[in-house]
Amino acid sequence: MQKITPTHDLSWYLKWSGSFLIMSGIVCRSVGVLPLYDLIASCLGTGLLAGMAYLWHDRALLMVNGVACAALAMGILRHLFG
């Protein structure tokens, strides 16, 4: 089977950076590091994946990651100002 996913273009870097940040947020949450770190890493990661989805014209991924990024951003604001 031939691979059709783009490699080493902007979407590839967004995909891998976003994935790494989301995994970092999960690790922060699981080991009990400051909740703000989890929120920030996850928000940045989902934002990058939303950017990748936009470049790929993938509406389902764009919606999931866009909503996740917005919800996490609200969590950051609540943590800082609430």
| Rounded (10°) CA dihedral 24, 78, 72, 28 | 10
pLDDT at 46 over 90: yes
Share of the chain above pLDDT 90, in %: 84
Report pTM: 0.92
Q: Amino acid identity of 64?
A: V
Q: How far apart (Å, rounded) are the C-alpha atoms in residues 67 and 63?
A: 6
> What are the tens digits of pLDDT across the range 62-75?
999 999 999 999 99
Helix, strand, or coil (residue 34)? coil
> What are the tens digits of pLDDT across the range 1-15?
777 778 889 999 999
pLDDT for 2 equals 79
Q: Amino acid identity of 42?
A: S
Confidence of residue 31 (pLDDT cuts 50, 70, 90): very high
